[in-house]
Amino acid sequence: MTNAAGIVLTGALALLAPAAVAGGRFAAPQGCEVFATVQMRSCQVSQHYRCQGDAAGEQWALYMDGQGPYYLSKIDAETRWLESYDLTTGEKDRLSAETDPASFTTLLSTGRDDYDFTTESGTGEVRRYTGYDELTGERVTIDGVTLERTRFDLTAWDAGGQMLWHRKGRQLVHRDWRLFWADSEDFENSFGDRERLVDTPMQFALPGEKGFLSSEPIYDCDELVTEATQPFPTLSIGG
């Protein structure tokens, strides 16, 4: 199966991967329903959908850039990262073990949630993620949608306990949709390379609204082409 970006997918991933259709509109997999299309900075657009057959509260998010779909993830009602797919390589990561599971309910009820969990890739690579999310008390309205700002700190470790990368900054959450979006953050890898990232949502399109199901990102795309940079995925871990 080949998606809109011309990426060849195999096995189970081919059955899961959605595709953009003619006219720049997104089509969810059979049995799934999109509830929001979100345009973000850094030339990204995401499609959020739920599927029949999944457990209650589970949902998917597909991220696209100017080249097409590049990242697919599935979370549960507590925003626990269940599985994800790099659509440029076909690599799959799945939740493996949890010392302190992420809990969106805890975040909303207490103002802070700490988490500590491990994922394993299809090739056997193990990564551990530790960090926290904390409500700042600030409410933000973007395109008529009310969100709440959080601060977060997240570190990824390899199986030997060596730091792979560290992220910290701000994110935005939607209580009813039980979702995170990126806002602004600082990223540093194990080599000391640092980058400031701004992936704030700019436009929300619900069913029947202009822009709903659009597969074409519209913000910062000219700038990214000029700079020849690749946008960092706006995935959120924990909650």
DSSP letter string, 146-205: EEEEEEEEEEEEETTS-EEEEEEEEEEEETTTTEEEEEEEEEEETT--EEEEE--EEEEE
| pLDDT recorded at residue 229 | 39
In this prediction, residues 166-190 reach a mean pLDDT of 98
For the record, the structure tokens of 211 come out as 């822009």
Split at pLDDT 50, 70, 90, the class of 18 is low
Residue 3, pLDDT > 50, answer no
Strand pairing partners for 172? 149, 181
Number of Cβ atoms within 10 Å of the Cβ of 194: 10
Instruction: Give backbone dihedrals phi and psi of 55, rounded to 5 degrees, phi first.
Output: -65, 155
pLDDT tens digit string along 110-150? 999 999 999 999 999 999 999 999 999 999 999 999 999 99
- Higher-confidence residue of 237 and 64: namely 64
Q: Where are the domains of the chain?
A: 11-227
Whole-model pTM: value is 0.87
**Confidence check: pLDDT of 228 > 50:** no
Instruction: Reply yes or no on whether the pLDDT at 48 is more than 70.
Output: yes
